[in-house]
Amino acid sequence: MSMTLATTWVRRGVASQFPQKYQVDEAELSRISKLARLQLEDAQQDLQDAQNGNDDDESEDHDSDAGVPTGEGSGNVKSSATDADDLKEYNLDDYDDDPVDDQGEKFSMFGNVGSLAYHAPHERDPYIVLPEGEQDSEDEREELQILSSDNLILAAKVEDEVAQLEVFVYEDEGENLYVHHDIMLPAVPLCVEWINVSVGKGSESRSEGNFVAIGTMNPEIEIWDLDVVDSMYPNAILGQEPEEQPDTEQNEESSSKSKKKSKKKKKKPKANDEYHVDAVLALAANRHHRNLLASASADKTVKLWDLKTGKCAKSYTMHSGKVCALDWHPTESTVLLSGSYDRTVVATDMRAPDAVAPKWIVEADVEKVRWDIHDSNFFYVTTEGGTVHYFDARVVPTSHDRPTKPVWTLQAHDGAVSAFDISPSVPGLLATGSDDKRVKIWNVQDNKPNMVVSRNLDVGRIFATQFAPDSEVAFRLSVAGSKGRLQVWDISTNPHVRKVFAGRVQLPESDGKERLVGASLSDHESDEEDEEAGEEGWEDMDED
């Protein structure tokens, strides 16, 4: 099973031309230990308890308290004897003895050592050519190279219960899309956000950055450096639950009891002002105040993080349900739009959280919210019911007992509109993706949305779709979904897209062939899904 749950683009020229290989030294190990809060003492105690079994009185008391019958540890003797019998077949006692051939003579793996030829230090063995370290390093350096004309696409993925972030390189001219490196994650990733400020280790010496923030089913937010390959641990973790500090005056007996209690399952903490206590569903970096990152969680709170300190600067509770969508206002840099499963959308000025914020109501659970970057007086809301709403932020709702009337509403899909984006280069160009496995391109003119093209790109249920951020690749659209596949579709090669937008923007030349660059799925797809994709295919529509 493979699913790509979230994606985001990184614009050209941001990534380091030659990413660094991760280096482990004492300082890094110390940093990791502190960040991960490795409980070495507890681990050593657990190991000692396992080795001792139930021999000592303390272990017997502990077993009795846990409901384990006294004397059950005696079964270890039988188990050890059985293990010893099983190991006999491997003849480990005679492992170091030389084997014997059919004539009863011993032979050794070095038995033909006399026939080996000697080569002087200045000579090269014709059969063994050792690679030169410098050449290897240079070859590896070239393999990791990222050109200034390349984009990165970050894809949060789950495959065979392994969670990871795949860092793709997209070469537009070469029509090439490949995984540059990946990052292992602790839990199922739900959202990703690119950050252009340095965070964590070494941030003092860097004014710019190429980092990614990742929200998962865990309440913590991990931040990784995209210019470092094969990292073992993130540069920073936002929202770790603070450890309980033991009382220094406790005696050994109370300390022992404390350790036993700590091994019991902890109660889930309640929502608070310091850290999230449930899955992180959305992230939004503030492009004006680059040290600020907003997060939305299933714990019904929105939190504002200071990336310089790694601490929560402020926590907000503007919703009564899980908060699943965020977007900063493009010009009013302190206004944050948030959407929730409570079917409301709120525009909050983060400087005045206690002020009454305008609230809009929709007919179904919110999926995505986006300010119109071409006219920031308006914003879009997509819902689980398959609709797209367009609201005027200047018209503040006066009634909260029924859905708010939008400027226009579009029934875009049969399933939830789980993916949505606005072209940053072409006004009126929208893309939607849905549980119905279709991605659709829309043209909005004079407040009238019209579908231009609809297509099943064979990525399964669509979870993410996004336009490239650079004007040179303005018509490239990434699409990913439940099959784990990532596709980049050049929609400018579609004849209906060309017909609709040719009069408004300059389109690149086309040879009339559809251009779709994809990264193949690593596991097998079901025949049923393949047949369904083949049957649906294309559906092109001119605007009326």
CB 322 within 8 A of CB 308: no
Nearest to 360, CA basis, from 313, 386, 332, 325: 325
Nearest to 209, CA basis, from 491, 431, 14, 417: 14
Rounded to whole angstroms, the Cα distance separating 198 from 260 reads 41
The dihedral region occupied by 266, where left means phi > 0, alpha psi between -120 and 50, and beta the remainder, is: beta
| b/e per residue 445-472 (b: at least 16 CB within 10 A) | eeeebebbbbbbbbbbbbbbbbbbbbee
CB 502 within 8 A of CB 494: no
CB 277 within 8 A of CB 295: no
Rounded to whole angstroms, the Cα distance separating 412 from 451 reads 9
Using DSSP's 3-state secondary structure scheme, residue 193 falls into strand
Q: Which residues are bridge partners to 335 per DSSP?
A: 349
Angle between helices 252-262 and 40-52 (to 10 degrees): 90
Which uninterrupted H or E stretch holds 261? helix 252-262
Which uninterrupted H or E stretch holds 36? helix 26-36
CB 35 within 8 A of CB 29: no
User: How do the pLDDT tens digits run along the chain, 544 residues long?
Assistant: 799 999 999 999 999 999 988 766 666 677 667 666 544 555 556 667 666 765 544 444 444 444 434 333 344 434 444 544 544 544 545 544 555 555 555 544 444 444 445 445 455 555 555 455 555 566 667 788 999 999 999 999 999 989 999 999 999 999 999 999 999 999 999 999 999 999 987 666 667 889 999 999 999 999 999 999 988 889 999 998 876 544 444 444 544 554 454 455 567 789 999 999 999 999 999 999 999 999 999 999 999 999 999 999 999 999 999 999 999 999 999 999 999 999 999 999 999 878 889 999 999 999 999 999 999 999 999 999 999 999 999 999 988 889 999 999 999 999 999 999 999 999 999 999 999 999 999 999 999 999 999 999 999 999 999 999 999 999 999 999 999 999 999 999 999 999 999 888 888 888 878 899 986 434 334 434 443 433 345 565 544 3
